[in-house]
Amino acid sequence: MSRTRIKICGLTREADVEAAVGAGADAIGLVFYEKSPRAVSLERAAELARRLPPFVTPVGLFVNAAPAVIESALAAIPNLTLQFHGDETPEDCDRWARPYLRAARMAPGFDLLDFATRFSRAQAVLVDAFVDGYGGGGKVFDWSLLPPSVPSPVVLSGGLSAANVIDGVRQVRPWAVDVSSGVEAAKGLKDAVKIRQFCDAVREADRLMSV
Ligand SMILES: O=C(O)c1ccccc1NCC(=O)[C@H](O)[C@H](O)COP(=O)(O)O
């Protein structure tokens, strides 16, 4: 069985990048959404991305961004994976011909199968809670809303932490998990101990599923 990938989102400081990499994260998220408390400038994002070793992926998070913003981010960080977290259409996402994650805001009645079909070129569908402000709200959604099989890899997010990620991985069996609020000391400031505990909990979930 393959291991569950881990993305730590909303990093703003070098120390947090080091904590995420040191704990075994597969990807880090850089928020290019100026209304977010975790937003980073282009220059800051590029500095943080430069700290990543090979095989750890920088992911740029965008909410209804103008194409010029995405172009600048790609110019500054050429290996950037895109994460669309707003109201982007399949055409908005596909036009970049780049790997991307598409966030789905889960709420009762939301048709994830139709969504995943429309965004069939996405590398993965990131399922998050429906919150004001689009994301990063630290809110868990009802995992039973997820259909038993989705035609894309699923990234489970929304209010995850070391305390609930084992249940999340065992119940949903996602391809990856994504966390922001649950590993923070304050908004935009990560906590190295919480990052370590989160990554260890994901490994424990993988171990429990392999026995
Ligand atoms: O982090 C933000 O402030 C943010 C703002 C707008 C859209 C998305 C945002 N963050 C997304 C994430 O950090 C995660 O992909 C996901 O929403 C999980 O966040 P959390 O519930 O805080 O763990």
Amino acid 154: pLDDT: 98
CA atoms of 106 and 141, how far apart (whole Å): 7
State yes or no: is 128 an active-site residue. yes
- pLDDT tens digit sequence for 117-132: 999 999 999 999 999 8
Q: Catalytic: which of 16, 26, 93, 128? A: 128
CATH no. for residue 56? Answer: 3.20.20.70
Total tally of structural domains belonging to the chain: 1
Is the pTM here over 0.80, yes or no? yes
Contact, 65 vs 32, CB < 8 A? yes
Per residue of the chain (211 residues), what is the pLDDT tens digit? Answer: 689 999 999 999 999 999 999 999 999 999 999 999 999 999 999 999 999 999 999 999 999 999 999 999 999 999 999 999 999 999 999 999 999 999 999 999 999 999 999 999 999 999 999 998 898 899 999 999 999 999 999 999 999 999 999 999 999 999 999 999 999 999 999 999 999 999 999 999 999 999 9
Percentage of the chain modeled with pLDDT above 70: 100
| Residue nearest ligand 1's atom 19 by CA | 136
Identify the CA nearest to 82 among candidates 120, 30, 38. Answer: 30
Q: Which domain holds residue 174?
A: 5-210
Ligand 1 centroid distance, CA of 38 (Å): 9
